[in-house]
Amino acid sequence: MEPGLIDVMRYGIIALAVVVVGVTVVASIAFWRADRDQAKIFALLIKEANTLQLITVLNVIVAVTLLSMLGKIDASGVISILSGIAGYVLGGIGKTSSQRANIDGG
């Protein structure tokens, strides 16, 4: 691997770790200081904002970018993955929680 690419990967991992620790600290303080109703509202906000889906999509984009920079996948692979992500994100924009629950079988 190129020395410059290793530095980019190292700084990317450090930045990701800082963000994860920061979000964890803020969320922990929010739950700890909030009473039951506020904690429920905060948890509902995380659920309705599709936080897990957002994190997953961002991680896939970062992984595809790194693999492309390393030359492990070609342009057609990158286009396929990114168009799949776009379809997933755009396909779920107009759905409400009840519609998602019916589709998911819940």
Tell whether the model's pLDDT for residue 75 goes beyond 60: yes
Q: Tens digits of per-residue pLDDT, 6-44?
A: 777 777 788 888 888 888 888 787 777 767 677 677 777
The reported pTM is: 0.54
What is the sign, positive or negative, of the torsion defined by CA atoms of 71, 87, 54, 56? negative
Residue labelled with tokens 């530095």: 7
> Residue 45 is encoded by which pair of tokens?
């906000």
Structure tokens at 105: 């079988």
**Tokens found for residue 75:** 């342009």
